[in-house]
Amino acid sequence: MHPDSTPTDRLTALGHQLVEIHLWLLDELDQIRAALDTDPSTDADRPPGTGRPADDGPPAGPGRRTAGPGDDRSPPGGRLRHLRTHCLSFCAALTRHHTGEDAGAFRVLADEAPELRPVLDKLSRDHRMVDWIVRRIEALVADPPVDDPAALDRVRVELDGLSAILGSHFRYEERTLTAALDALGDRAGGTEELLGVSPPPDW
């Protein structure tokens, strides 16, 4: 899903690669948010990378809610278990992108374009705030309680907040850094060296 950089990557302007990565990450996040309301007991609209209903947790027993007549939706915890792989994969990719930028592109730009250092500092602060939210999401989906109706809502609130923050963060980063990244050419390294990840080849 996250291929290594290739010589072809170097032929594409780094600023363009940044925009592609952002679009891909936002699309992944939108898929997860939409899938929160998708019942994993059906195959329709199954998000990529998720398991089948058999993976949704232990069978019902005493104290566990089971589907009754007219109830064709899985428990909230079952839906979170269904989304766990996709959600954790997205969180890992987002973290790699931001840590890759901090250690790669931002350090290079701080040397090559010192006037951008206040911008880079702000973006790095944003990264720390995003990482705090990502860790909360990872904790919520790691082992969701099957019978807690509020579990889904807690994850939804965190994902909605993350979406709003990322939208603003990405727009600001693209507006302030795209031209400087394009000016680097390939002398500073490849896409993954500087931006942490590459957009999937079929994006």
* DSSP 8-state secondary structure symbol assigned to residue 47: P
Choice among 30-44, 53-67, 186-200 with the minimum mean pLDDT? 53-67
Tell me the CATH number at 141: 1.20.120.520
Domains contained in the chain, number = 1
Predicted confidence (pLDDT) per residue in 108-120, tens digit: 999 999 999 999 9
Residue 25 lies in a domain: yes
- Residue 199 has a pLDDT of 87
Task: Evaluate if pTM is beyond 0.85.
Answer: no
Crossing angle of helices 117-142 and 150-184, rounded to 10°: 150
Residue 149 lies in a domain: yes
Predicted confidence (pLDDT) per residue in 137-179, tens digit: 999 998 877 777 788 889 999 999 999 999 999 999 999 999 9
Residue 6 lies in a domain: no
Residue 59 lies in a domain: no
Predicted confidence (pLDDT) per residue in 69-109, tens digit: 334 455 555 677 778 999 999 999 999 999 999 999 999 99
Domain of 100, in residue numbers:
15-50+73-195
**65: three-class secondary structure by DSSP:** coil
- Residue 53 has a pLDDT of 36
Residue 92 lies in a domain: yes
Six-digit token string for 141 = 């989906």
- Residue 76 has a pLDDT of 57
